[in-house]
Amino acid sequence: MKDKQNPLIYLFLILLMIISDGFHLIEMEHSFFITLSVPVFLLFLLYFKSMSPIFSGVAVGLTLVLSRTGFSVIEGQPLVESLLLHAPVAVYFTIFGLLFWLFYLDRFYSSPVYIGLYAVILDTASSFSELAIRNALSLTDASFHVMGTVLLLAILRNFFVMGFFMLILYSQQQTKAEEEKKQSDHIFLLLSDLYAESVQLRNSIKRAEDITGDLYFLSKTLKKEDKLDLSKRILDMAGKVHDFKKDHQRIFASLDQIIKDQKKNEYMNICELLEIVIKSNKAYASFLQKSIVFSVSVDNKKDIVNSFVLLSVLNNLISNAIESISDTGIIDITINNPVSNSSLHILITDNGPGIPEEEQQLIFSPGFTTKFNDQGWPSNGIGLSYIQQSLNKLKGSISLVESIPNKQTCFSVHMPRSLSTEGEV
């Protein structure tokens, strides 16, 4: 974990080391302890990569010398004798920090086994250094038995630390993967919205071109009839519409480039895509304070589909269904996509209020809407007309199967299984 240098980390380390030093795993002779402080120190150096191993080793070593000496004095041991008895522990942590820095242990993050092997070497070398000082001061007999015990314990505790550290790394990787998936899903939804808007924008550009052509023709006709003032005004209007078209073309070009840059993720598994659709629309239903139950049925769960097109179609239909339901309801998504079929057949069914019979012939008309905001302004009404235009272009179709008031409304979508990667937008 790469963090900026933070003094509080060192303070936390010192406090934790004092506490963990009180847990004696094994006590040999003359205050040569095997404590919990060593695994804690190694974990800190591995996890907080910004910490200075040498400074940390010296600071921890001096702190433990003072804390052990203080406890010994409280128990009635003379100060000088206590200080001499516990001073070698500073050698252990100083050597450990120095060797950690020399070996640059955190470079082996991807190979915990190597970290474990090097940690055993560091632990053993540091313990032998402490034993050598204690032996020189006649505090401990550095026998082969003691040295063998130190080596065995170094192997056991350091590989225990590696197991614990691998769990930490695994947890971090899982969290990172979840965040990346969340971000990826969000990008897919944004691209789906951009795809829909780009289709509408392209249609607006086409209409602007048609209007410009009609205005130029009208201007020429008026000019021939010697209606010069009116001809000039019409020509001026044509110029403004042409400028309007150019502005929209620049916006369309930018949107088109953004979508093309993401084409590498254009196709994905249908179940993964449905997971994104359901998750986003559950959030939308919650935002509208509605309780919606989603039911999903897919024939071929291994199918790979065009994510932008299908995501856009499903989101439009499902969001319409959510908005139509008053408080609670059910939305059923059924996808018939056996491998033998060359197309996907999608059924979106809800138990909302339904669509009045007199409006059923108008729902795919551009601009038609039954939705109005609090100020009485109508929705843009592009949802169903956009879906129809997009599917028609791809040689697909959408139709209203049935709408029974307060019981069931069902839309049917047919979409080619194989879509070209060019010219969809």
CATH of the domain at 110: 1.10.1760
Check whether residue 407 and residue 275 sit in a common domain: yes
Check whether residue 236 and residue 351 sit in a common domain: no
In a domain, 348, yes or no: yes
Check whether residue 278 and residue 402 sit in a common domain: yes
Check whether residue 284 and residue 249 sit in a common domain: no
Check whether residue 196 and residue 61 sit in a common domain: no
Check whether residue 59 and residue 114 sit in a common domain: yes
Check whether residue 236 and residue 191 sit in a common domain: yes
Residue span of the structural domain in which 70 resides: 7-142
Q: What share of the chain is helix, strand, coil (3-state, %, to 5)?
A: 65, 15, 25
Q: What is the pTM of this model?
A: 0.51
In a domain, 383, yes or no: yes
Q: What is the pLDDT along the chain (425 residues), one digit of tens a residue?
A: 444 457 788 888 888 888 877 766 555 555 556 677 888 888 888 888 888 889 998 999 899 889 888 888 888 888 888 888 888 889 989 998 998 888 876 676 667 777 778 888 888 888 888 888 877 776 666 666 667 777 777 787 777 777 777 788 778 788 888 888 788 777 777 776 776 667 667 767 877 888 888 888 888 888 888 888 888 888 888 888 888 888 888 887 877 777 676 655 567 788 888 888 898 889 889 999 999 999 999 988 888 887 777 887 888 889 889 988 888 999 999 998 776 677 888 999 999 888 888 888 888 876 666 554 455 444 444 568 878 877 887 888 899 999 888 888 999 998 887 653 333 43
Distance CA 65, CA 242 (A): 83
For CA atoms 311, 317, 318, 322, give the dihedral sign. Answer: positive
CATH number, residue 356? 3.30.565.10
Contact 402, 348 (CB under 8 A): no
In a domain, 24, yes or no: yes
Check whether residue 250 and residue 275 sit in a common domain: no
Strand partners, 408: 404
Q: For residue 149, what pLDDT is reported?
A: 74
Q: For residue 295, what pLDDT is reported?
A: 92
**In sequence order, which residues have a C-beta less than 8 Å from that of residue 169 and are 6 or more positions away?**
109, 112
Check whether residue 100 and residue 112 sit in a common domain: yes
Number of domains in the chain: 3
Q: For residue 262, what pLDDT is reported?
A: 62
Contact 364, 385 (CB under 8 A): yes
Check whether residue 254 and residue 283 sit in a common domain: no
Apex 260 CA angle, 258 and 264, nearest 5? 115
In a domain, 155, yes or no: no
E strand segments, 151-238:
none
Q: 371: which DSSP letter?
A: -
Check whether residue 241 and residue 284 sit in a common domain: no
Last residue of a domain, one of 90, 125, 142: 142
In a domain, 178, yes or no: no
In a domain, 175, yes or no: no
In a domain, 150, yes or no: no
Q: For residue 2, what pLDDT is reported?
A: 46
Last residue of a domain, one of 202, 231, 263: 263
In a domain, 423, yes or no: no
Distance CA 297, CA 278 (A): 12
Q: 304: which DSSP letter?
A: E
Check whether residue 199 and residue 339 sit in a common domain: no
